[in-house]
Amino acid sequence: MNPIERALGILLLLTGGKLVPATALAERFQVSLRTIYRDIDRLIALGVPVDAERGAEGGYRLASGYLQPPVALTRNETAALIASMSLVRSSRTVPLASDLTSAEKKLLASLPKAVHGLMKEADRIVGIEPIPPDIFHSGTKAEPTEDWQKALDGFMAGILDSRRVRFEHVNPARETGKAHEVEPYGVMFDRDLWYLAGRCVDTNLVKVYRADRVQGLEISGLFFRPDKDFSIQNLLGGAWLSQAMRRWEQEEQIAKILITASQAKKLSADWYYRHAVFTPAGEGKILISIPSTSRMRILPLVRWLGPGAELLAPESLRQEFAAELEELTRLYGAANPLEQSA
């Protein structure tokens, strides 16, 4: 009996749910205990969830529910699955990407041959247009990196194993990283970016971290008890961003812009600025307070708002914008070069 045949035989013997001692396996296949240990290690390396218990009453068995009955999908169900897989793959980064690939291969192998062709033609019959960059909001487009994938995979592993993770989160405004230890609770996808939600051990607050800004994520050996009251659904609809802005207001400098009621109405429909603080300022004006003084964020906003919007703070950005307006006044106050050439 070759190693592959023996590994298959061991797999079948472990499906009963009862512990099977290594000595019993060695006797059954007439090999040494060392050979059985190597066979078990080979199964684990292939992703087979073999549970091992030590001691006189110990042995091996398969994790409950590992072997499932054959999957029987109709042609329409297969097409629906194809569309869903295409949507997932349109994201530049997905959690556990390598496991998704192996799961897809296993699923394909379990399906009737009649639908194999349909699965293989997924790219030909279903197309997903990638989400374009949001030019108005800088920093909402990121290129996939090894750290990004590692952050997603490690965070998901931490969720599944109920183990804490450690990482460094980079703040682009400060261009510095800060160490975090987190109990991972869930992940969410928003505007072509992945976010990691979990309880920060230092602050005891549930925080959300952009996965592409996480570096050096490691899974610690510390287990935690999952919070049964937590649901990632409670962070959707911009709820996570609203909570984060309230926290940033305590940590960051504030930009203040005086705008008209109609401009406030436009901004209240924006996915980001609708979570800022809007305060009535009299005479039909609204004061919007934004927890950021980044010129890359604030100046494009004031330009887009146009007449009726006045940047009040910070003073440095106000002066920079005033100089920009003076330059534009000189440019548009001169004669039109197209009319001169005519």
The structural domain count of the chain equals 4
| Residue 329 within any structural domain of the chain | yes
- Say if residue 218 is in the same domain as residue 178: yes
Final residue of a domain: which of 183, 201, 236?
236
Q: Identify whether 106 is part of a domain.
A: yes
pLDDT single digits (tens) 63-117: 766 665 566 677 777 778 777 877 777 777 888 888 887 877 777 766 767 666 7
Give residue 65's pLDDT: 62
Higher pLDDT, 241 or 54: 241
d(CA 67, CA 306): 63
> At 342, is the pLDDT very low, low, confident or very high (cuts 50, 70, 90)?
low
Residue 294: half-sphere exposure toward Cβ, Cα within 13 Å: 14
Residue 241 lies in a domain: no
User: Which pTM does this prediction carry?
Assistant: 0.70
Q: Indicate if 79 and 56 belong to the same structural domain.
A: no
Which structural domain range is residue 57 located in? 3-62
Identify whether 137 is part of a domain.
no
Mean pLDDT, range 138-146, rounded to an integer: 74
Label residue 120 by pLDDT band (50, 70, 90).
Answer: low
Judge whether 293 lies within some domain.
yes
Tell me the pLDDT tens digit for each residue of 156-191: 999 999 999 999 998 776 667 889 999 999 999 988
- Whether 219 and 155 map to the same domain: the answer is yes
**Over residues 213-229, mean pLDDT:** 92
Question: CA of 285: how far to CAs of 51, 259, 278, in Å?
Answer: 66, 6, 10
Specify if 316 maps to a domain.
Answer: yes
Contacts of 227 (CB under 8 A, 6+ apart): 183, 185, 199
User: Is the domain of 58 the same as that of 87?
Assistant: no
Please indicate, yes or no, if residue 244 is contained in any of the structural domains: no
Tens digit of each residue's pLDDT (9 = 90 or more) over 267-299: 999 989 999 999 999 889 999 999 989 888 899
Same domain, 160 and 228: yes
Residues 44, 85, single domain; the answer is no
The residue out of 62, 85, 113 marking a domain boundary is 62
Task: Give 186-209 pLDDT, tens digit per residue.
Answer: 999 988 889 999 999 999 999 999
Rounded Cα gap, residues 331 and 325, in angstroms: 10
Of the pLDDT bands very low, low, confident and very high (cuts 50, 70, 90), residue 138 is: low
Same domain, 12 and 86: no
Q: What is the CATH number of the domain that holds 164?
A: 2.30.30
Within-domain flag for 314: yes
Higher pLDDT, 167 or 6: 167
What's the pLDDT at 211? 93
The pLDDT value given to residue 9: 85
Amino acid 42: pLDDT: 86
Cβ neighbourhood burial of 230 (10 Å; 0-12, 13-18, 19+):
middle
Question: Average pLDDT of the chain?
Answer: 85
pLDDT at 262: 95
Q: What is the CATH number of the domain that holds 319?
A: 3.30.70
Q: Using the predicted structure, report yes or no on whether residue 1 has a pLDDT greater than 80.
A: no
